[in-house]
Amino acid sequence: MFGYMPSMAELENPSAALASEVIAEDGTPMGKFYYADEDRTACAFKDISPFAINALVATEDERFYEHSGIDPKSTLAIPFYLLTGRKRGSSTITQQLALNLFGTRSPNPVIRMFQKMKEWVLAIKLERHFTKDEILALYLNTVGFGDNVKGIKNASLTFFSKEPDQLNIQEAATLIGMLKGNTLYNPRINPRYAIDRRNTVIHKMEENHYITASQEQSASNTPIRLQYHKMNQNTGIAPYAREYLRQYMKGWCAQHQKADGDNYDLYSDGLKIYTTINPRMQLYAEQAMDQHLAALQIIFNQQHDIKNDAVWKRNKDYLTIFMKSSDRYRAMKAAGESDAAIENFFNTHKVKMRVFSWYHTTDNIPHTMDTTMTPMDSIKYMQQVIQGGFLAIDPESGDIRAWVGGPDFRYFKNDHVLATRQVGSTIKPFLYCFAIMNGFTPSTVVPDSPVYFPKYHWVSRNDVGGGGPPVPLTVGLAQSLNHVAAYLIKQLTPEAFADFLKNRIDISGNVPPYPSIALGTPEISLYEMVRGYSIFPNKGLMAEPLLITRIEDRNGNIIANFAPKKHEVINSAFASTMIRMMEGVINSGTGARIRGRYGMQAELAGKTGTTNNNTDGWFIGYSPQLLAGAWVGFNYNFLHFNSTYIGQGANTGLPIWALFMKKVFADNTLGITSTATFNLPAPPEGLNQFNYDPNLPPGQAVPNNGNGNASDYFDVDNNQKKNSSHEKAPEKKGKSEEPGRTPKALYPSSKDGK
């Protein structure tokens, strides 16, 4: 007669859909995964404010503690209210819970009568199997509070930015008041109705002796002070990392089953995913990127080819591609508009829109600006926003502490932590390490002269093709001298170095065995570069970046643990040598502004990188306790800084890293100190290992082998001088050329990768 009735097992384990939560290292909620209409989070009775419990009972079911699921007095009164035409709710909290968990509400009065009797039966069963406290917690975890928010914990965090056990009288009454009409009494939408309803709830609390008359008066006279924060995929902590996590967890759920044999559902099974993200470091990383990229944006916007639109006149095909991929174009096309009409609209009609801005906040949303412009101008504007990526890890464990994939996830979904770009001179520490492993030493003197590779018709270039006297390897790395890198790869062979990158450093992308890989032509992600650099501060061990520590089910049972993964790539002696050599980059090389401009005196090591036309600016560096990398550029390479001084990695990527590290060092709660040391062994006696001054006597020399001559400065095939860009130390004009990169989709790379 009643139709389907849930089993005892289902009654004892009611399973309302719950959002999965992402939790930071310190327990801070980062974000959630849920279906569009099921944003629900559960919490225990002990974690709910007594004011919320008392407000619920006083308003919804005054005799809750006296009945066993059905309130006889309210039930017997139903005919009276029906006869008088007055509407009055008679369902107890337990009956409402039965409806929320297992029932439906039919508009047909006959069907609804049978549904009501079914709810009575279920309510009695629930009362037999649960305590009153458990029923109240279950109820508050299942009801909706407006704005597609379900569950008291979610509502508390959304409307007041606090945990539910911290709700005061007026806040608890506001939320409970919304249960009568979660749109009508939503304080964000209808504050006047919400405060009236709130005060009604407060009065009911006083009537039922849960609060005193003075508490009622004080709470009723207090305005509603919202701290509204609706958490979604675009907000919360580390949204780029969470998107990476979402993709990973979808695969994990597809391979793991619950006790009933069904696969886990990321969006409804209430998983708790604990991560290694440190919220304070994440904030410092975002602040550092905001501060520096906003300053760079002002400089870029004043660039001549940006102000006069020349860059877009040279790249009209891109504008057509961007236009045709827009929602506006597709909508106009679907409406039957011709391409000519659409293009005319894009170029001539100004429309109101909200766009990204480094400098504006609209409706309390940072990085937003309301403006009016043509759709084509908006395309140019958004493409000209400078992009960045930043990743920080614990070099020993691999724990990811901060992940910033771009300026703002709401506007730019492309994650530049995972995107591949040419890496420039950040490849050189791997090359120098490979050289050290094959018999070179830091004081080995090598030529700083052009190196010619007849097989590839390619010759190395420094500034204007020049070079200088032979230098020890320490100087070659510190000053990022391309001739030195070219000399090394000629001795080691491109094939051997490519194999080292692929099979020892675990670079997953294409590494063609050409000489130009010594200058960083391979396209590698920031994620893989930071992982690779972990072999230096971690004494030869590569630490796989770790984002998840454990996964729990909705009941708090651990269903998966994740431990750090490390393996040896080089021995500790080679790693120690490379740390000292990379300290030279900071102390006297292309990264010297860390000491000068930013005044950092900690033990630090790292490497800058810049690619041709300044399309990619890099810096990857580390202290004994923290490793981080930054990339700066644009989504498309035809957009770039024309000035090498502005566009080099030392001026684009390095400042983000420095600003971040300064904030980290200043925060004593993080345990990352500027006094930590690398604890390196002393160099072998008699070996001038770390000579960064090219004017000092060398420790040993090698033959000047394989150099080019004047004619080698020309492209053998085209008989034209090669274009170059240069990486410079801040105090003087440098000598190194960085490799180029062209958009792969439109212009295939030439054989040597330039």
Kindly report, residue by residue over 670-680, the tens digit of the pLDDT.
Answer: 999 999 999 98
Q: Is residue 260 one of the residues assigned to a domain?
A: no
Let me know whether 183 and 310 are in one domain: no
Residues paired with residue 388 on neighbouring β-strands, in sequence order: 632
Judge whether 706 and 483 are in contact, CB under 8 Å. Answer: no
- DSSP readout, 587-645? HHSTTGGGTTTS---S--EEEEEE-GGG-EEEEEEE-SS-EEEEEEE-SSTTS--S-HH
Strands (DSSP E) found in 488-547: 523-525, 541-543
Residue 149: which pLDDT band, with cuts at 50, 70 and 90?
A: confident
Q: Is residue 457 one of the residues assigned to a domain?
A: yes
Tell me the average pLDDT across 25-39: 86
Residues paired with residue 445 on neighbouring β-strands, in sequence order: 472, 701
Domain final residue pick, 173, 201, 232: 232
Let me know whether 379 and 451 are in one domain: no
Residue with tokens 């009622």, as numbered in its chain: 216
Let me know whether 343 and 438 are in one domain: no
Residue of higher predicted confidence among 75 and 674? 674
Measure Cα distances from 304 to 308, 376, 610, 651 in Å.
6, 20, 21, 19
**Phi, psi for residue 355 in degrees, rounded to 5:** -130, 170
Let me know whether 436 and 366 are in one domain: no
- pLDDT at residue 420, rounded to an integer: 97
Residue 99: which pLDDT band, with cuts at 50, 70 and 90?
A: confident
Residue type for position 262: D
Residue 472: which pLDDT band, with cuts at 50, 70 and 90?
A: very high
Averaged pLDDT of the chain = 86
Task: Provide the token pair at 245.
Answer: 């996590």
Residue 2 CB neighbour total at 10 angstroms: 12
Measure Cα distances from 517 to 294, 403, 431, 477 in Å.
32, 27, 9, 15
Could you tell me how far CA 569 lies from the centroid of its own chain? Answer: 28
DSSP 454: G
Let me know whether 189 and 115 are in one domain: yes
Domain final residue pick, 205, 232, 259: 232
Let me know whether 598 and 723 are in one domain: yes
Of 69-83, 275-289, 356-370, 411-425, the least confident: 69-83
Judge whether 370 and 361 are in contact, CB under 8 Å. Answer: no
- pLDDT at residue 551, rounded to an integer: 98
- pLDDT at residue 741, rounded to an integer: 31
Q: Is the dihedral of CA 287, 290, 293, 297 positive or negative?
A: negative
Let me know whether 588 and 480 are in one domain: yes
Let me know whether 462 and 335 are in one domain: no
- pLDDT at residue 747, rounded to an integer: 24
What is the rounded distance in angstroms from the CA atom of residue 479 to the CA atom of residue 607? Answer: 10
- The enclosing domain of 126 has a CATH number of 1.10.3810.10
- Interval 370-422: pLDDT, tens: 999 999 999 999 999 999 999 999 999 999 999 999 999 999 999 999 999 99
Residue 36 has pLDDT above 90, yes or no: no
Q: Is residue 22 one of the residues assigned to a domain?
A: no
Among left, alpha and beta (phi > 0; psi -120 to 50; other), residue 151 is: left
Let me know whether 215 and 313 are in one domain: no
Tell me the average pLDDT across 718-743: 34
Let me know whether 576 and 496 are in one domain: yes
Residue 359 has pLDDT above 50, yes or no: yes
Which run of H or E residues covers position 417? none
What is the rounded distance in angstroms from the CA atom of residue 437 to the CA atom of residue 253? Answer: 43
Strands (DSSP E) found in 363-460: 365-373, 387-393, 400-404, 420-422, 444-448, 452-453, 458-459
Residues paired with residue 39 on neighbouring β-strands, in sequence order: none
Give the domain range for residue 381: 303-385
Residue 74: which pLDDT band, with cuts at 50, 70 and 90?
A: low
Residues paired with residue 399 on neighbouring β-strands, in sequence order: 546
Residue 123: which pLDDT band, with cuts at 50, 70 and 90?
A: confident
Q: Is residue 585 one of the residues assigned to a domain?
A: yes
Residue 144 has pLDDT above 70, yes or no: yes
Specify which of 145-149, 393-397, 449-453, 457-461 reaches the highest per-range mean pLDDT: 393-397
Judge whether 654 and 593 are in contact, CB under 8 Å. Answer: yes
Q: Is the dihedral of CA 412, 415, 416, 420 positive or negative?
A: negative
Tell me the average pLDDT across 659-678: 97
- Interval 629-652: pLDDT, tens: 999 999 999 999 999 889 999 999
- pLDDT at residue 252, rounded to an integer: 97
Q: Is residue 461 one of the residues assigned to a domain?
A: yes
**Three-state DSSP state, 371:** strand
- HSE at residue 466, side-chain half, CA atoms within 13 A, is 8
Q: Is residue 424 one of the residues assigned to a domain?
A: yes
Q: Is residue 709 one of the residues assigned to a domain?
A: yes
Number of domains in the chain: 3
Residues paired with residue 370 on neighbouring β-strands, in sequence order: 354
- Interval 247-291: pLDDT, tens: 999 999 999 999 889 999 999 899 999 999 999 999 999 999 999
- pLDDT at residue 365, rounded to an integer: 85
Residue of higher predicted confidence among 259 and 655? 655
Angle 444-450-452 from CA coordinates, rounded to 5°: 105
Q: Is residue 746 one of the residues assigned to a domain?
A: no
Tell me the average pLDDT across 33-38: 78
Let me know whether 215 and 311 are in one domain: no
Domain final residue pick, 232, 266, 283: 232
What is the rounded distance in angstroms from the CA atom of residue 402 to the CA atom of residue 425? Answer: 24
DSSP 707: B
What is the rounded distance in angstroms from the CA atom of residue 615 to the CA atom of residue 242? Answer: 28
Let me know whether 602 and 522 are in one domain: yes
Residue of higher predicted confidence among 576 and 728? 576
